[in-house]
Structure 1
């Protein structure tokens, strides 16, 4: 088992290298269908498996197409990592879609709606109080 510090360093290194591959090296047109960014990498304690979390901006169709392209490029990504990163064994790579950014945006928009509704309710309440005072 590798130390937690080593696991996190390897995860950061994989994140950086896969991000570079997405920008410059992966030629599959499906990967370019949506805007893709690597949000996180989770490496197992024995450094044998790595989950690469990607955020994809675009329609549902573009997301599905991009994930299919990433799944087909997994072998290429692993072999490139083996050349770029010096490890005894290159970890198995699995791409997973990360929708946390979308969920965060949805929560923020819901909070904003609640704040707007609260401001409207407060304004109505103030008007009612003013009307009551006028009587």
Structure 2
């Protein structure tokens, strides 16, 4: 089996994700971002653009509020990333809401409903 080597954009994206996650936990004072989680970062090959994907811990926060929080803190985030990463050019940050967690929670609710309906209509022998 051949091991997959990571290119520079993937390595830098991983570093951006780690530093940004730490910043949200410890450095950004915007209360809108308190429940945000960085789910991924993809970098352009030339490292000029970083697409940052985020979700909310509880899934209840409005994605517009979270996006506005990130946009508001963008200057601070870029300065801190530049200080931590030491890149020649600081990438332009673009923030995107990652709805996959919301979708996963929705699927879990549907499955739970189906299980409870099955138990009502087809009880197992030990419950009869």
Question: TM-score w.r.t. structure 2 length?
Answer: 0.79
The CA RMSD over aligned residues, in Å, is 2.3
Q: Deviations over 1:7-64 (max 9, x none)?
A: 21111100010011111111234433xx111111111122111111111236445x43
The aligned counterpart of 1:115 is 115
Please state which structure has a larger fraction of its residues in helix: 1
- Contact 2:59/2:102 (CA < 8 Å) preserved in 1? no
Distance 2:117 2:29 in 1: 48
- Unpaired segments ≥5 residues, structure 2: none
The aligned residue for residue 26 of structure 2 is 24
Shift of 1:5: 2.2
Per-residue displacement from partner, 1:53-98 (whole Å, max 9, x unpaired)? 111236445x433321211111221121111102221111111111
Question: 1:4, 1:45 within 8 Å by CA — same for their partners in 2?
Answer: no
Q: How many correspondences in the alignment?
A: 120
> Which residue in 1 is equivalent to 2:87?
87
Max Rg structure: 1
> TM-score, normalised on structure 1?
0.76
Gaps of 5+ in 1: 127-135
